[in-house]
Structure 1
Amino acid sequence: MAQASGAYLVGDYAGALLHAERAAAAGEARGATLAGHIKLHGLDGEPDDRAAVRWFTRAAERGEPDALIALSRLAQAERGGLSAWQAGDYLDRAAQTGDARAALEYGLYLMESGDPARASDTLDWLRLSAESGYAQAYSEYAIALDQWVHGPHDPARALDWYERGGLAGDPHAALQAGLLYLSGEAGAQDQAHGAELVEMAAEMNLPAAMGQTALLYFQGEGVPADPARAVSWAQAGARAGDAESQFLLAYALATGEGAAVNRRDAYLWVLRAGQPGQGSLAEDSDRAQLEAALERVLDPAVAAQVREQAILTAADF
């Protein structure tokens, strides 16, 4: 098997396949799995789903979780002669081996199936994956505990897993943990720690977290009020397409709080915040009021130019 792995790493896929097949013949499940991947991706020539399925099946017979996961994905796509109904069985077998990644995959599969009768099993598999230290499971388990329609809707239980997910590098989990600490919704209000987690998510380049961080610095919530720092985060989020950030930047440019007054640019950003799209503030009354106020003070010709610019650059955000 070492020869197969070595050949694979240097790009000698024909050699890797030869050695993988020999390892499989000697009873090495990982050899059959590697041969399956080579065939699946056509690394030795043309992709061959059916050959891949044969090799993965050989490895799966020896309880190899990676092969079982591969078979489940092929089954879901109905490739290689497999049927979608087989996917769950493959993932069940993979999870039963104790593999943390397989437990996560099976939990997500059950979650997606939407069967309320399997809700307890779903949570158990996600919990087992998370408790085994598989970082990718942290935020998934938190979401299941907190937001899943068939879950317990228990933010208090979810909070620790959101935070672990954030510390493991998931910005969405860090943001959610931060918001829960800030609001006290999970029963453990800590505004300073919440603000720290929200800014961590912003530093991981999550646009929505940039807007939230800007708001915290404008309001002095969990952090000392710092309008200049707020504007810096609002600028970053606005350029990344976050509507909340765009509105906050428009507000700063209109009022001079943390930035030099520039009503033309303020009008441009408030228009962008109201453009259609995910997270749009089109129906937000504060945004609408700022837009109307800026229209009253701008020269009509300038306002028309800015409206045209906002439309022409809409696709950039």
Structure 2
Amino acid sequence: MRLISFALLTFLAAPVAHAAPTQEDVAAARLAYIEGDYDAALKVIQEGAEAGNAMALNILGAASLDGRGVAQDTDKAIEFFERAAKAGEVRGYFNLGTLFLEGSPPVEQDRARATREFQSAADQGYAPAMTALGRLQETAEPPNHKAAADWYEKGHKAGDVVGTTNLAHAYVQGIGRNENWIKARVLYTEAAARGYPRAFNDLGVIHEEGYGVHMDQLTAYSFFLQAVNAGYPKAGKNIAELILKARFPWSSKHAALGYCIWAVRTAPDAEKASFQEDCEALVTEINPDAAMRERAERFADQL
């Protein structure tokens, strides 16, 4: 009996091994992390990463790069992304490509490394990487627009909505593809059907200017409005200018000014100055008094 008791005590005193989080656990933690519940999410994600889970390693890379829930550390981010990629997470390659394309102190921009990482992801069929390779070709010195459009088409066929929209733009511009407004409209419509904000905006431009379709300011307004509702700043500026040009009976100058104010507020930092300049020109044209400015501000607050 004493032997049995001793064995039982020994068993109870032994450390209990915890099972590593399952893929479902990590996926749920990823959603919690996206929602901002960092503490609870990162506990599961870190345990998953320690066990070699590729998704968890990739999330830790993103967390380290952004400094959300953990200290910002670009070198650690690279390490986690590399480990994730080696463990089979294709987005690890893509995130490495994005990091080296943009640069993140103390890591400088490295387009050659970015190209290699995007290529590794594209080789595994990852559509956004194909589009990214197209963007690299388009922004090269000198640019290779034909190669860019080829990659956009690959991205489009693989299901990337940005690739679809960029390919449409190539047809609009006649750069990298022969100008073809019908193909462009079909591609923009496909991207818009998937909810891509820029596609709504560009369809608005097509209908406002009559590119390959009958000029239709009402349809243009509808597309710009959908882009605004989807949070696309440039559409705010475009709809403001259209309101003044078309003189719609249901809209007004204060609404035009409100859309422009919203566009400036929501524009990326790198583009704010350009948006501000365009809206100042609109203000000069409208010449609003204090009451109209106040109504426009309230209108912008509601968007």
Question: Would the TM-score normalized by the shorter structure come out above 0.5?
Answer: yes
Q: Distance in 1 between matches of 2:55 and 2:163?
A: 27
Query: Which amino acid in the other structure matches residue 109 of structure 1?
Result: L
Within 2, Cα distance between the matches of 1:285 and 1:70?
39
Write the deviation string for residues 153-183 of structure 1: whole angstroms up to 9, x where unpaired. Answer: 4333222333454566655443332222101
Shift of the alpha carbon at 1:112? 3.8
Matched, 1:65 2:65: no
RMSD over aligned Cα, in angstroms? 4.4
1:211 pairs, out of 201, 204, 212, with: 201
Question: Is the counterpart of residue 143 in structure 1 residue 132 in structure 2?
Answer: no
Give 3-state SS (helix, strand or coil) of 1:242's partner: helix
State the match for 1:267 in structure 2.
Answer: 253
Aligned residue in 1 for 2:114? 122
- AA aligned to 1:128 is S
Give the corresponding residue for 2:83. 93
> Corresponding residue for 1:201?
191
The DSSP-based 3-state class of the residue aligned with 1:221 is coil
Instruction: State the AA in 2 paired with 1:229.
Output: T
Q: Does 1:113 align with 2:103?
A: yes
CA offset digits 1:86-145 (Å, max 9, x no partner):
332332233245542222122223334365684222212212212321234333333333
- 1:52-97 Cα distance to aligned partner (Å, 9 max, x none): 645533x33xxx5334324534654497899653332332233245
Letter in 2 for 1:244: N
Name the count of aligned residue pairs.
267
Give secondary structure in 2 for the equivalent of 1:188: coil
Write out per-residue CA displacement over residues 26-65 of structure 1, whole angstroms, 9 at most, x where no aligned residue: xxxx85x7777889979xxx849678645533x33xxx53
Q: CA separation of 1:312/1:122 partners in 2, compared to 1, >3 Å: closer, same or farther?
A: same
Q: Is the 8 A contact 2:131 2:155 kept in 1?
A: yes
Other structure's SS at 2:99 match: helix
Aligned residue type for 1:69: N
Measured in 2, the distance between the counterparts of 1:237 and 1:35 equals 36
C-alpha distance 288-140 of structure 1, shift in aligned 2 (>3 A):
same
For 2:239, the equivalent position in structure 1 comes to: 245
Q: Report the equivalent of 1:312.
A: 298
- Within 5 A, what are the aligned runs for 1:138-287? 138-147=130-139, 153-166=143-156, 171-237=161-227, 242-253=236-247, 261-262=248-249, 265-275=251-261, 276-277=264-265, 278=267, 283-284=277-278
* Structure 1: 5+ residue stretches without partners: 1-17, 25-29, 254-260
Any idea what SS the aligned residue of 1:313 has?
A: helix
Question: What is the CA-CA distance between 1:286 and the residue it aligns to?
Answer: 11
Could you tell me how far apart the structure 1 residues matched to 2:72 and 2:278 are? 50
Cα-to-partner distance string for 1:197-224 (whole Å, 9 max, x where unaligned) = 2333344444443333122123221234
Following TM superposition, the consecutive aligned residue runs of length 4 or more in structure 1 with deviations greater than 6 angstroms are 33-42, 78-83
TM-score of the pair, normalised by structure 1: 0.63
Equivalent pair of 1:211/1:245 in contact (CA under 8 Å): no
Cα pair 2:155 2:164 within 8 Å, conserved: yes
Distance 1:181 1:146 in 2: 14
The corresponding residue for 1:56 is 49
Deviates more, 1:215-224 or 1:120-129: 215-224
- SS state of the match for residue 161, structure 1? helix
Amino acid at match of 2:138: D
User: Partner letter of residue 162 of structure 1?
Assistant: Y
Q: Structure 1 179/70 Cα, relative in aligned 2: closer, same or farther at 3 Å? A: closer
Question: Counterpart of 1:249 in structure 2: which amino acid?
Answer: I
TM-score by length of structure 2 reads 0.65
Any conservation in 2 of the 1:178–1:193 contact (CA below 8 Å)?
A: yes
Q: CA deviation at 1:315?
A: 1.7
Partner of 2:9: none
Shift of 1:307: 3.9
Gapped regions of structure 2 (runs ≥ 5): 1-15, 34-38
AA aligned opposite 1:142: G
Among the aligned pairs, what percent are the same residue?
21
